[in-house]
Amino acid sequence: MPDLGAAGLSASMEDYLEAIYQLQAAHQVARVRDIARLLGVKMPTVSGALKALAARQLVDHEAYGYATLTDEGRELAEQVHHRHTAIVELLERVMQLPAEQAEDEACKLEHALSAAALERMRLLTSFVQENEGVQQQWRAHLEQADLCEVIHEHAAKTRPLAEEVTLDTVPPGSTAEVTRVCGEGPIRRRLLDMGLRPGAEVQVKRLAPLGDPIEITVLDYHLTLRRNEAANIHVRIVAQPLSQVGPGERVQVLEVRGGAGRQRHLAGQGLAPGVQMTVLAPPPGHQRVVLQVGEARTEVGHNIADDVLVRML
Amino acid sequence: MAEPSVKPIVVALAGNPNSGKTTVFNEITGARQHVGNYPGVTVEKKEGEREFAGRALHVVDLPGTYSLTAYSIEEIVARDFVIEEHPDVIVDVVDASNLERNLYLTSMFIELDVPVVVALNMMDVAEARGKHIDVTLLAELLGVRVVPLVARRGEGMKELLAAIVDAADHGQGQEVHVNFGPELEPHIAQLAGEISSRELADHLPARWLSIKLLEDDAQIRRRFEAAGEAGRAVLARAEEARRHLEQMIGDDAEVALADRRYGFVSGACREAITDAQLQRTDWSERVDAVVANRVIGLPVFFLFMWLMFEMVFRLGNPLMGWLDTFFAWLGTLTRATVPPGQLQSLLADGIIGGVGGVLVFLPNILLLFLAISFLEDSGYMARAAFVVDRIMHQVGLHGKSFISMLIGFGCTVPAVLSTRMLESPRERLVTILVVPLMSCGARLPVYILLAGAFFPAAWAGKVIFAVYALGVFLALLMARLFSKFLLTGPSRPFVMELPPYRWPTLKGTAVHMWDRGWMYVKKAGTTILAMSICMWFLLSHPTLPPDATLTDEQSARAAIEHSYAGRLGKFLEPALRPLGFDYRIATSLVAGLAAKEIVVSTMATVHSLGESDATSRELREALRRDPVFNPLVAVTLMVFVLIYIPCAATVAAIYKETGSWRWTGFAVGYTCVLAWAVAFVVYQVGRLLL
């Protein structure tokens, strides 16, 4: 059996073999025009390549306009094809990339891989496919990571959409970004000196027992200021606790605070990072937050809702 | 040994509050330190000496600040010291676990053309949080010497001292400036050029002056205004630059400058810190979840205050009793050894009584400062202010004022001294003025006597409680009036750091306690002594010739009625008539100026009774028989005693803390007027109703 590794074919030669293999599988024969279209090259280029492959007795290219694989050529092409599918499978099934992207990237990757690396890829794919638990864990992990992407993109793209409010009105537990610092002389300067400059991220920790002053964190330290002072700071809310969201609002979960147990528990209820949902009006006297997640309806206690950070949609 | 001809190296010790600056200062100077004030202001100035490698160091502790603006007195003091006194080295103590904000101040010091040594304190805390700091790289990025320290364990102090000496001998080395970017830099350069060419810089760095002009710093502006034509030209140029910048960046230069500084600092931090992102338990966070909690925050605060109160007065009062006994014994001894006469009276009653009267407070004061310094150094004080600020803010005070007022329930003298923990001079002064209205322990015997004599047991407690409540109400009311009408002006930002909790060091707490205690003995002591001698003179002069026909009690009564205090009482009688008081009550009140509990013993004397205390049945019955007295007069008198002039020791403490006879006089005057007015209302309204 001819060995693809030992055949010493160039990347484009491999591509031609694979293209002919695919076309033959579909139409019995491979026309030069179809090969050119499939690989995105000009017809004379295809003819040149076919001549080279014919010289190595991998294709038959007697009739103009047509090419068929020799037995040896078919075997090599099959290997190329299997390698390709293995990579596509990994990218698509395991890595969860869109099919088109997986196809595209596989074409670029396949020629550079050693047989050993390819074998490992196959093993990894089958291992993940066969283990339900591993698959779930991996998906959750992916979602989390993707979400960070979403947050970053969101922060970059939708900034002008978020409403500007003053810091004294931001509910405790929320994270906000400073946009402007107003106020007169000493107070303004003090705020700037303490690190509250435009672009800084602040988190509102809590209100004092009598509602004033408030405690925030900025630059990784804790700061307290009176409400009338905080009113000088204009911010955009980046994230806020679910408990602070009014009925009727649509939100997306950004983060679930607390231990792994709580995160698993809430994920079971459909409350995982990335999930979008609507806050519903609780029935009168009801002490819990009622949510519509997809088709399902679920509810959580207020203290748990404090630890679910969401952004408004 | 240091060469006597070599001048000592002057070191300015600077840094953020809570950066461990005081610990570094104590570690460097040990016991060789002295406390004073910066000239002209009531900002405390600590200085100390140290010898190292044959060189003498003179260390000046600058006030802890976050910045160097002209908005706060501490910041002005700190920067004035650097630019006017030109120390040889600035040591900037920096909290390594909160590097970014701490280095912001450093970025301002490196513009002042004095070699800077960054003391990177609390390295252990930073490491524990998973932050590794590349000290060499940081030094390179900032262009200054950087020495890692754990000051509370004394680690790195030798290296710090070596770096100080090195910096003093060899200067800064490389020049690093904050790059303020393409918008600001041309303006800074142009202004600096103008300042230099017009020779307006004096001895100050021109670049620093231009930055301050762009910030529109009031103090620097005045400096240029005073420099005539050339100065005004530079100011006009700066004004133009500020306008131009505002158009260009859409915000004023102050914001842009602060932003660039933070940019410079966070850039350096990003490069020099490797953060392991440890998942650690944030203990401060957990403690705050309880002590700053919305529901139980206040109860916890009151629990702590109660504990402090209990410790100070429960533990202190027996010690106070022993000291009292000791001075009484000393007095007896004096009377036994010195022949009777003026000298004996002066020594036994005036001086020993006076000095004793001061020193008996010492245990309470030491314990109180132990508690306060523990609360401050541990980080709880900031939380306490956070929890109760709302109440105090409404009357124009700071959350911390509340603590002084609570202490006032125990004794007014330490309460006045405790106002030092307030940073704003205005809030401090208002707090000092109203603290005497909090009913102190010495007033209680008077209430017990009067309430006990004129009200059934079931009512006596309620009456006394009402008097206390009236005191609190008046204190808050007066604070509101004072801060609204008397001490106006822009109020200081409350914006305050909540530092991470730390165990206070024994040394730090002990030094703090000793400083305060000693200051009290030394300074307040002298004033109180003078006051005590005055009071002694008023109560015992002029003397009566001994009259053998009278009993001891009768002669004591005759003596006091004959004395200046008695005459003052008679003189004041018409003024106090509308309150229902006669000359004997007036005399007791005059005597009460020495200390309010003396009102009780004087009351006994003027009723021709011997040694009496508040619970003495004889005295109560004498009062009940007295036609001048009735329940209404008793209440009026209690109200008057609550409010009128604080005792001599308090007056001395007020003088000591305000440093002004005017404010001391005001405190005396307003309490007098207020006492009369409130007592008048109580008595006259009471008469109409009853």
Residue-wise pLDDT for A83-124, tens only, equals 888 888 888 888 888 777 888 888 778 877 788 888 888 888
A124: Cβ contacts below 8 Å, ≥ 6 apart: A90, A94
A126: Cβ contacts below 8 Å, ≥ 6 apart: none
Mark B522-542 as b/e (b = at least 16 C-beta within 10 Å). eebbebbbebbbebbbbbbee
Position B598: which residue type? I
Q: How many CB pairs lie under 8 A apart between chains A and B?
A: 123
Distance CA B308, CA B415 (A): 13
Distance CA B373, CA A141 (A): 49
Q: Does B104 touch chain A (CB under 8 A)?
A: yes
A223–B495 C-beta distance less than 8 A:
yes
Q: Does A191 touch chain B (CB under 8 A)?
A: yes
How high is the mean pLDDT of chain B?
86
Q: Looking at the predicted structure, is the pLDDT value of residue A1 above 60?
A: no
Distance CA B604, CA B449 (A): 11
Mark A251-286 as b/e (b = at least 16 C-beta within 10 Å). bbbbbbeeeeeebeebbeebbbbbbebbbbeeeeee
Residue-wise pLDDT for B587-596, tens only, equals 889 888 878 8
Position B604: which residue type? A
Same fold, A4-128 and A132-161+245-313: no
* Residue B374: pLDDT band with limits 50, 70, 90: confident
**Residues of A in Cβ contact (< 8 Å) with B258:** 189, 192-193, 197
Distance CA B260, CA B271 (A): 17
pLDDT confidence of residue B94: 95
Q: Which CATH architecture has domain A132-161+245-313?
A: Roll (2.30)
DSSP B435-490: GGGS--GGGHHHHHHHHHHHS-HHHHHHHHHHHHHHHHHHHHHHHHHIIIIIS-SP
User: Of B367, B370, B371, B396, whose CA–CA distance to B384 is shortest?
Assistant: B371
A210–B298 C-beta distance less than 8 A:
yes
Residue-wise pLDDT for A218-253, tens only, equals 988 999 999 999 999 999 988 888 888 888 888 888
Q: Looking at the predicted structure, is the pLDDT value of residue B86 above 70?
A: yes
A267: Cβ contacts below 8 Å, ≥ 6 apart: A140, A256
Position B426: which residue type? R
Residue-wise pLDDT for B196-212, tens only, equals 888 888 888 899 999 99
Residue-wise pLDDT for A165-194, tens only, equals 999 999 898 999 999 888 877 888 899 999
What average pLDDT does the segment B393-417 reach? 85
All structural domains of chain A with their residue ranges: 4-128, 132-161+245-313, 164-238
Percent of chain A exceeding pLDDT 90 equals: 15
Residue-wise pLDDT for A119-167, tens only, equals 888 888 888 888 888 888 888 777 766 655 555 555 544 444 467 899 9
Residue-wise pLDDT for B598-656, tens only, equals 788 788 777 777 666 666 778 888 888 888 889 999 999 999 999 998 888 889 889 88
What average pLDDT does the segment B436-446 reach? 86
Contact B116, B38 (CB under 8 A): no
- The structure tokens listed for B575 are 């003024």
Mark A205-234 as b/e (b = at least 16 C-beta within 10 Å). bbbbbbebbbbbbbbebbbbbbbebbebbb
Distance CA A191, CA B126 (A): 25
User: Of B439, B502, B497, whose CA–CA distance to B469 is shortest?
Assistant: B439
A193–B496 C-beta distance less than 8 A:
no
Contact B28, B57 (CB under 8 A): yes
Placement of tokens 């304190």 in the chain? B121
pLDDT confidence of residue B507: 80
CATH superfamily, domain A164-238, is Ferrous iron transport protein A (FeoA) (2.30.30.90)
Q: Which CATH architecture has domain A4-128?
A: Orthogonal Bundle (1.10)
Instruction: Give the torsion sign (CA, B531, B536, B537, B538).
Output: positive
Contact B241, B188 (CB under 8 A): no
pLDDT confidence of residue B634: 94
pLDDT confidence of residue A222: 93
* Residue B579: pLDDT band with limits 50, 70, 90: very high
Contact B77, B185 (CB under 8 A): no
- The structure tokens listed for B212 are 């301050």
What average pLDDT does the segment B379-405 reach? 88
Helices (H), B250-399: 253-272, 283-291, 297-310, 316-337, 342-345, 353-359, 362-378, 380-394
pLDDT confidence of residue A159: 42
Distance CA A244, CA B637 (A): 55
Percent of chain A exceeding pLDDT 70 equals: 91
Contact A204, A167 (CB under 8 A): yes
Name which of A10-19, A150-159, B416-425, B517-526 the model is least confident about: A150-159
Contact B467, B639 (CB under 8 A): yes
Give strand pairing partners of A279.
A291
Contact B241, B214 (CB under 8 A): yes
A213–B100 C-beta distance less than 8 A:
no
A191–B386 C-beta distance less than 8 A:
no
Distance CA B612, CA B619 (A): 7
Position A119: which residue type? E
Q: Looking at the predicted structure, is the pLDDT value of residue B117 above 80?
A: yes
Residue-wise pLDDT for B9-25, tens only, equals 999 999 998 898 988 99
pLDDT confidence of residue B278: 62
**Residues of B in Cβ contact (< 8 Å) with A208:** 292, 294, 297, 386-387, 389-390
Question: Shortest Cα distance from B352 to chain A (angstroms)?
Answer: 49
Give B558 or A222, the one with higher predicted confidence.
A222
Distance CA B131, CA B136 (A): 15
Name which of A19-33, B126-140, B564-578 the model is least confident about: A19-33
Give strand pairing partners of A165.
A235
Among the ranges A33-42, A43-52, A84-93, B139-148, which has the highest mean pLDDT value?
B139-148
B398: Cβ contacts below 8 Å, ≥ 6 apart: B385, B389, B392, B422, B424, B427, B494
In the DSSP assignment, the letter for residue B628 is T
User: Of B682, B555, B563, B605, whose CA–CA distance to B571 is shortest?
Assistant: B563
- The structure tokens listed for B218 are 């009031």
Residues in chain B, total: 690
pLDDT confidence of residue B2: 45
**Residues of A in Cβ contact (< 8 Å) with B101:** 194-195, 219, 221
Give A124 or B2, the one with higher predicted confidence.
A124
Asked if the interface predicted TM-score (ipTM) of this complex is over 0.85, the answer is no
A206–B382 C-beta distance less than 8 A:
no
Give strand pairing partners of A236.
A164, A177
Q: Which domains does chain B have, with CATH numbers?
A: 9-170 (3.40.50.300), 181-275 (1.10.287.1770), 530-649+670-689 (no CATH)
* Residue B358: pLDDT band with limits 50, 70, 90: low
**Residues of A in Cβ contact (< 8 Å) with B125:** none
What average pLDDT does the segment B470-497 reach? 87
What average pLDDT does the segment B444-470 reach? 87
Name which of A11-20, B36-45, B257-266, B597-606 the model is least confident about: B36-45
Percent of chain B exceeding pLDDT 90 equals: 34
**Residues of A in Cβ contact (< 8 Å) with B499:** 222
**Residues of B in Cβ contact (< 8 Å) with A225:** 493-496
User: Of B281, B226, B213, whose CA–CA distance to B70 is shortest?
Assistant: B213
Prediction pTM value: 0.72
A189–B386 C-beta distance less than 8 A:
no
B254–A188 C-beta distance less than 8 A:
yes
Q: Looking at the predicted structure, is the pLDDT value of residue B357 above 80?
A: no
**Angle at alpha carbon of residue B663, lines to B657 and B668, rounded to 5°:** 105
